[in-house]
A and B are shown apart, each in its own frame.
Chain A
Amino acid sequence: MKKLAIIPAYNEERIIVSVIDEIKGFDESIDILIINDASTDRTGQVAAACGRAIVINLPCNLGIGGAVQTGFKYAARYGYDIAFQYDGDGQHIASEISKLVRPLELHEAEVVIGSRFCTSHNGFKSTLVRRIGIKIFKIVNSLLVRQWICDNTSGFRAYNKRAIQFLSSNYPGDYPEPEAVILLGRNGFRMVEVFTEMRERPEGYSSITAFKAVYYMIKVLLAIFMCALRPKIVKE
């Protein structure tokens, strides 16, 4: 099965090569696609120079959603069977990819979400605001897709061919993760959540600072409800 790692990167020049090396060290057969979202540092050059990744340099900053969607478009065009989203800041652990990909290989699911807190066992710490936000998403999303999804904000996800095809033309823009859960759930994609270990962010900051948290919550909740009210895109 052809596998692609989609890595959106914005100003990650210091860590991007070690992220690439970690994935290649785990599985040489995985193709790595770096989407350099108009970084102001040398992320694109550094990633291209190591010669182990495909690099797409976007001419202007699209935000995480637009960058990841570029990856889905690439995966759809080049016929990948599995694509997974992987953060460019080094918070994901390459050896956890196998957990993420296994349900797809066994055809148990079409979308796999790598969750930081699926079980009680976890090393995840976060701020109070983020924890509250995550809880709200958990309740709202679980009601709307009628499936218990614990970690709606995780960016560690894997998709099969049908999901890749779908997302390449339908993917939300800013803060896309919680909305994507609804979009996929409402369109009849089978989702599972697996527990995956994650690191504390070794470098860079979360895309969500406390200051933006309220705006983020309102925007995403509005997007989620609108998404739930829209008719299905996939015809069965």
Chain B
Amino acid sequence: MSKDMLRRVEEAAGHLRGVLPELPDIVLVLGSGLGHLADRIERPTIVPYKEIPHFPVSTVSGHAGEIVSGKLRGRNVIAMKGRIHLYEGYDAQTVAFPIRVMRELGAKRLLITNASGGINPSFRAGDLMLIRDQINFMFRNPLIGPNADQFGERFPDMSEPYDKRLRGLALRVAAGKGIVLREGVYAGVLGPSYETPAEIRMLRTLGADAVGMSTVPEVIAARHAGMNVLGISCITNMAAGILGRPLSHAEVTETAGKVRHTFSELLLGIIPEM
């Protein structure tokens, strides 16, 4: 991370410190069609991305682009409603920028969600999947460039990108609420074209259970900065070639809409103990 990038992180964090009544412990990154959880935040302070200095602004429809900060089940949270993606043309450093800003504000936990395509044939559209591990198939890494020593080390360990304790917690909460929570490996791809059936077979061979176009850069940056991460995918569709029919973004948002209640219940159960 260049000196300039570091300065921008500090300026963005400085702005948020000025407008937020309380600093966050937990960052919520809400994926396609899953932004509604931010509406449950009590005494919310809402800050559009475009008001935060240097903050990248999302271009894809369905991603609102604002920060909602406040209390959720007694915890200080900050939700990123809408996120930016590599496929929008941003570099990986920029995609990871908001995570660094949140870390700079003192947040130590990241709860990250996404919509993804199911590769594991036992999955069904509408399933929720706890991310156990990830495969970076994006050909990008947010840590390329000079290292920002104040955030983390040059060669960060990735042996446990998704925190074991938090995964255990998520499984416990799910079981307690009678919610089926799958578990698997998330493969992050560049997009924006959906994968071909041959690519899905390849990813399956490589050990992936689900595929999507986000999450991986944010999680790398979060781990670099020593945050504990919990990741949950909403399987919004089965990936190309599995059901033998075309994929559409409409299907993704539709499925995400159907499971929003269950998803919220799960996250609301997890957050107090994160």
A binds B: no
Query: Which residues of chain A have a CB within 8 Å of any CB of chain B?
Result: none
Residues of B near any A CB (own CB < 8 A) = none
